[in-house]
């Protein structure tokens, strides 16, 4: 078998290093599936990256050398933008005319707001960016809850926001997350997690739009068990994510690329 080209190995290692910085940790099995190489190859890559002090090896994967800082929402919006737009269009198809919808402060959720028009919807949000996008949009009525502004997340949080939420029920809530594991979904901030938990309690249906870069990653606080989620919408899936959804009775949908058919993953039988 011919020896692997060094340039290809270096590009692959850069992708692994970038994933660890962005997600905080990576799993060996996920890297094998995503990068399309053998497990021994990935192990050699992780050994080399550890030698360079770019990550630390763990059983079954690797973790960041230091905790990654939360990136401001204005900077996060352009990360994995194509995937987020595909997911947002698929989420738009899950909304029926006349429904009440909660849109929170995640960047993928903000892309959903871009897709809404002429649907005769009541939109409830704690996200400043979402409120700006839906204001004066034909067929949309919006309510921005009050509270303390969290600039890093572009959201309203705190006791006033939680009290405001107690007045509402919504047909469907779109809940953003920065990490997805078998244990649940997670975010970087406790106060935002409290808002998301409160919304989940007030929603008839909960949908998590999340791009595949967040698979296998746990952020600071896990705020929702997978059994509380009705549907996950992503642009691609892995064997682990499919299994987690089947085990926890979650409908998994993969957003189609332009011109392709919608690909559903049914709940476990």
SS3 label, residue 151: coil
Query: What is the CA angle 156-186-194, rounded to 5?
Result: 35
Quick check: 266 pLDDT over 80?
no
Summarize pLDDT for 198-238 with one digit per residue, the tens.
999 999 999 999 999 888 877 888 999 999 999 999 999 98
pTM to 2 decimal places: 0.73
Q: Counting beta carbons within 10 angstroms of the beta carbon of residue 150, is it exposed (0 to 12), middle (13 to 18) or buried (19 or more)?
A: buried
Distance separating alpha carbons of residues 47 and 257, to the nearest angstrom: 35
Reported as a single tens digit per residue, the pLDDT across 5-52 is 444 788 888 888 878 866 778 899 999 998 989 999 999 999 988 888
- Average pLDDT estimate for 175-195: 92
CA 28 – CA 33 distance, rounded (Å): 9
Q: At 173, give phi and psi (nearest 5°).
A: -115, 130
What mean pLDDT is reported for the chain?
Answer: 86
pLDDT at 45: 92
User: Given 3-state DSSP classes, what are the helix, strand and coil percentages for the chain, each rounded to the nearest 5?
Assistant: 40, 25, 35
- Please give the backbone phi and psi of residue 251, each rounded to the nearest 5 degrees, phi first: -75, 130
Please give the radius of gyration of the chain, using alpha carbons only, rounded to the nearest integer: 19
- pLDDT confidence of 71, banded at 50, 70, 90? low
């Amino acid at each position: 078998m011919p020896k692997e080209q060094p340039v290809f190995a270096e590009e692959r290692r850069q992708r692994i290093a970038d994933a660890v910085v962005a997600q905080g940790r990576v799993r060996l099995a996920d890297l094998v599936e995503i990068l399309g190489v053998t497990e021994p190859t990935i192990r050699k890559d992780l050994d080399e990256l550890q030698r360079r002090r770019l990550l630390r090896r763990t059983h079954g994967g690797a973790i960041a050398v230091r905790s990654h800082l939360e990136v401001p929402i204005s900077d996060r919006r352009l990360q994995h933008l194509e995937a987020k737009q595909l997911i947002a269009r698929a989420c738009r198809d899950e909304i029926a005319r006349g429904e009440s919808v909660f849109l929170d402060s995640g960047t993928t959720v903000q892309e959903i707001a871009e897709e809404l028009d002429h649907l005769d919807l009541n939109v409830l949000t704690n996200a400043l960016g979402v409120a700006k996008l839906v204001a004066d949009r034909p067929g949309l009525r919006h309510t921005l809850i009050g509270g303390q502004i969290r600039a890093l997340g572009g959201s309203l949080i705190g006791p006033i926001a939680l009290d405001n939420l107690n007045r509402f029920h919504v047909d469907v809530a779109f809940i953003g997350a920065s990490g997805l594991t078998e244990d649940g979904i997670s975010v970087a901030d406790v106060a935002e997690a409290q808002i998301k938990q409160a919304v989940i309690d007030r929603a008839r249906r909960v949908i998590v739009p999340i791009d595949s870069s967040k698979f296998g990653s746990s952020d600071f606080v896990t705020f929702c068990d997978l059994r509380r989620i009705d549907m996950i919408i992503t642009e691609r899936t892995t064997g682990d994510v499919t299994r987690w959804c089947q085990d926890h009775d979650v409908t998994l949908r993969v957003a189609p690329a332009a011109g392709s058919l919608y690909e559903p993953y049914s709940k476990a039988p």
